[in-house]
A and B are shown apart, each in its own frame.
Chain A
Amino acid sequence: MVPGNTKHTKNTKDGTKKHKGKTAPFAFLNFVFLFVPFVSFVFPGQVMPQRIVSLVPAVTEMLFAIGAGPQVVAVSSYDQDPPEVKALPRVGALLDPDVERILSLRPDLVITYGSQTDLQSQLERARIGFFDYRHAGLADITTTMRALGARTGHAQEAEAIARGVESRLDAIRAGQAGRPRPRTLLVFGRERGALRNIYASGGRGFLHDMLEAAGGANVFADVNRQSVQATTELILARAPEVILEVRSADILTAEEAAREAASWTPLASVPAVRQNRVIVLTGKGLTVPGPRVADVVQRMAEALR
């Protein structure tokens, strides 16, 4: 699903029909009742949301990046960035949105995730507009930023930020031209200190796109899923030249990162292990498809060189 589908409040009132064809004052009322809602429905950009609730951390970051931060009144319980969100009230998250709290904040726009269909129908009943978002590919990040800009009255800033991200990504891609593309295993989850519960990027989604933009060739590019639970056999068979591990939930010290990289030594025939090309990237927001994505791709590109 394409991110950025917007739904809007319909303020039409049926009562106007009774007065149809009556005297001039009523005709004027007809005009007011029918035309004004029509305008706000067709040209929603005219009514700028001033009280935004965001339930998606990646979108919260985008809102602040495009200058809509002051309009944000509440965020999800997982939001950490930018630092301004720390002072904002929390209204639950993907699985447990606190509808009562959301409604009590009187928002005029709620950022929801695509699977929150119950919340969306509740918002529709309460006549509150929502912005429907779903994680998708790398290109969809800037598409979402532009859609958010248009929806929140920051089209120009959004355009500038989106273009900035795109030109940085283009520059990184251009920097890879002519270089070999190492076959890379992109790991985003693994049991600490063991080769168990290894989750890697499949051939779909923003992580895969980020790896390809950074100059790596995903060893699971043929798997049409966002994630693959990679067994040791699968990794031995795919023989990646680089193992790139991103850790964003738990920030590792250099020593811990080295120890985690050493966990791979039993797979001695894997070229990445033999040539000492197991790289652990650690840091907040590494797996957030938001405005910082070009920084992460840059880090990945440097690691792959």
Chain B
Amino acid sequence: MSLRRRLLTVVGIFGAATLTVLLWAPTMGSTSISLSRAFDTGVPWADNVDAQIFFVARLPRVLAGALIGATLAAAGVVLQALMRNPLATPFTLGVSAGAALGAMLAIAMRLDVGALGVSSVPIASFLGSLVAIAIVYGLASSQRRGLSTNVLLLAGVTLNSFFSALILFVQYLADFAESFRTVRWLMGDLDVGGYGPIVAATPFIVAAFAVFAVLPRALNLLTMGEDMAASRGVEVVKAQRWAFFSASLATGAAVSLGGPVGFIGIVVPHLVRLMVGSDHRVVLPAATLFGAAFLVLCDLLARTIMAPLEIPVGIITALIGGPFFLWLLVRQA
């Protein structure tokens, strides 16, 4: 099958499945609502509880889930190829730890500097991720011309530990109620409370995806080694730099929106590779679509199985993703 046909088939199937999930998920929730009433424009907005549950409570959540899931899965694919390491995740390079530190500081210091419908926590969290990106990049590009993926990996892992220590320190000094809120933030939460935070995160994520769109050929060659890629005409350093910045920026935006939702960035890329092969030109769009659907479904479970209580979505993604991934590994072996 030619690449174009394979791509069309895969995107068609994954796209249809994801679209189905995205249309179905907002109809389900802890409360039962009447869809016909929700879309009835004859009922005034302020009186229409069904419409408000649909448009104010559920739809932003589903959109946030789709955006975060797609971003973390795609960033996982890019970073695994960039590092030539199947264990790399969007959280390996310290970006999420930087974002977490920013969020912790905003919560613990009770910062109140919201802008454009976005509260202080996501803003501080995004700034934290930018600081982490700058540090890791500075370290990885200081040793020689270009970008050392080994240094990138080591600097990321070290920065993760370092930021984790700072996070614990901030939590330790925080008030008791604030400490709990910081811990809850780390579990991931898609109840973003409106469209403002989603709209604010979207430009960064769209910019990153624009870069992802031109990366797959270079990623295919980079996985075979830098020299091989260079001999085939890839501008290695430039490609690495673009891959690093786009994936990190997307991760920072996604984490600042919904917290560090674990497991998506590693499980989804591998699951998708098991299903569609390893050509990044197919894997990247497929993982994007699959990641969106996967996180939206996990969140649907999170908000319904123990209703009215809610399970943090990060717990669900790990509980479902982990065993499913292991089962696939064993089956494949």
On A, residues with C-beta under 8 Å from B are: 78, 94, 96, 188-189, 191-197, 220, 223, 225, 228-229, 231-234, 236-237, 239, 249-250, 256, 266-269, 274
- Are A233 and B119 CB-contacts (below 8 A) given A94-B176, A197-B184? no
Contact residues of B between 191 and 243, Cβ < 8 Å to A: 191-194, 197
The docked-state distance in angstroms from the alpha carbon of A188 to that of B176 is 13
What residues of chain A lie closer than 8 Å to B191, measured between beta carbons? 196, 231-232
The docked-state distance in angstroms from the alpha carbon of A249 to that of B197 is 25
Are A232 and B175 in contact, with the CB atoms below 8 A? no
Interface residue from B49, B194, B310 paired with A194 (Cβ < 8 Å): B194
Query: Given contacts A191-B121, A193-B114, A195-B193, could you give 11 more A-B pairs where the C-beta distance is less than 8 Å?
Result: A192-B111, A193-B112, A196-B189, A196-B191, A196-B192, A197-B181, A233-B303, A236-B56, A237-B49, A266-B56, A269-B52
Are A269 and B49 in contact, with the CB atoms below 8 A? yes
The docked-state distance in angstroms from the alpha carbon of A196 to that of B47 is 23
What residues of chain A lie closer than 8 Å to B58, measured between beta carbons? 233
What residues of chain A lie closer than 8 Å to B308, measured between beta carbons? 220, 223, 228, 234
**Looking across the interface, which residue of chain A has its beta carbon closest to that of B112?**
A192
Contact residues of B between 123 and 143, Cβ < 8 Å to A: none
On B, residues with C-beta under 8 Å from A are: 29-31, 45-49, 51-53, 56-58, 107, 110-112, 114, 118-121, 172, 175-178, 181, 184-185, 189, 191-194, 197, 303, 308-310
Give the shortest distance, in Å, between A112 (CB) and chain B (any CB).
Answer: 16
The docked-state distance in angstroms from the alpha carbon of A191 to that of B177 is 12
Are A231 and B310 in contact, with the CB atoms below 8 A? yes
What residues of chain A lie closer than 8 Å to B181, measured between beta carbons? 189, 191, 197
The docked-state distance in angstroms from the alpha carbon of A232 to that of B189 is 13
**Looking across the interface, which residue of chain A has its beta carbon closest to that of B172?**
A96
Give the shortest distance, in Å, between A269 (CB) and chain B (any CB).
Answer: 5
The docked-state distance in angstroms from the alpha carbon of A192 to that of B107 is 9
Are A267 and B189 in contact, with the CB atoms below 8 A? no
Are B114 and A232 in contact, with the CB atoms below 8 A? no
Are B57 and A233 in contact, with the CB atoms below 8 A? yes
Give the shortest distance, in Å, between B302 (CB) and chain A (any CB).
Answer: 10
Are A194 and B31 in contact, with the CB atoms below 8 A? no
Interface residue from A194, A228, A269 paired with B309 (Cβ < 8 Å): A228
Chain A interface mostly = loop
What residues of chain A lie closer than 8 Å to B197, measured between beta carbons? 194
**Looking across the interface, which residue of chain A has its beta carbon closest to that of B58?**
A233
**Looking across the interface, which residue of chain B has its beta carbon closest to that of A260?**
B112
A-B pairs with the 5 shortest C-beta distances?
Answer: A233-B57, A195-B193, A194-B119, A237-B31, A232-B57
The docked-state distance in angstroms from the alpha carbon of A229 to that of B193 is 13
Give the shortest distance, in Å, between A2 (CB) and chain B (any CB).
Answer: 23
What residues of chain A lie closer than 8 Å to B31, measured between beta carbons? 233-234, 236-237
Interface residue from B30, B120, B177, B309 paired with A237 (Cβ < 8 Å): B30
**Looking across the interface, which residue of chain B has its beta carbon closest to that of A189?**
B177
What residues of chain B lie closer than 8 Å to A225, measured between beta carbons? 309
- Are A233 and B120 CB-contacts (below 8 A) given A189-B181, A197-B181? no
What residues of chain A lie closer than 8 Å to B194, measured between beta carbons? 194-195, 266
The docked-state distance in angstroms from the alpha carbon of A267 to that of B176 is 29
What residues of chain B lie closer than 8 Å to A191, measured between beta carbons? 107, 119, 121, 181, 193
What residues of chain B lie closer than 8 Å to A189, measured between beta carbons? 177, 181
What are 30 contact pairs spanning A and B, CB under 8 A?
A189-B181, A191-B107, A191-B121, A192-B111, A192-B112, A192-B120, A194-B121, A196-B191, A197-B189, A228-B308, A228-B309, A231-B57, A231-B191, A232-B191, A233-B29, A233-B53, A233-B57, A234-B30, A234-B308, A236-B31, A236-B52, A236-B56, A237-B31, A239-B49, A249-B178, A266-B56, A266-B193, A266-B194, A269-B46, A269-B51
- Are A274 and B46 CB-contacts (below 8 A) given A195-B193, A196-B191, A196-B192? yes
What residues of chain A lie closer than 8 Å to B119, measured between beta carbons? 191-194, 196
Are A229 and B310 in contact, with the CB atoms below 8 A? yes
Residue among B52, B58, B120, B184 having the largest count of chain A Cβ atoms under 10 Å: B52
**Looking across the interface, which residue of chain B has its beta carbon closest to that of A248?**
B177
- Are A249 and B120 CB-contacts (below 8 A) given A196-B191, A197-B189, A232-B57? no
The docked-state distance in angstroms from the alpha carbon of A228 to that of B309 is 7
**Looking across the interface, which residue of chain A has its beta carbon closest to that of B184?**
A197
The docked-state distance in angstroms from the alpha carbon of A250 to that of B49 is 32
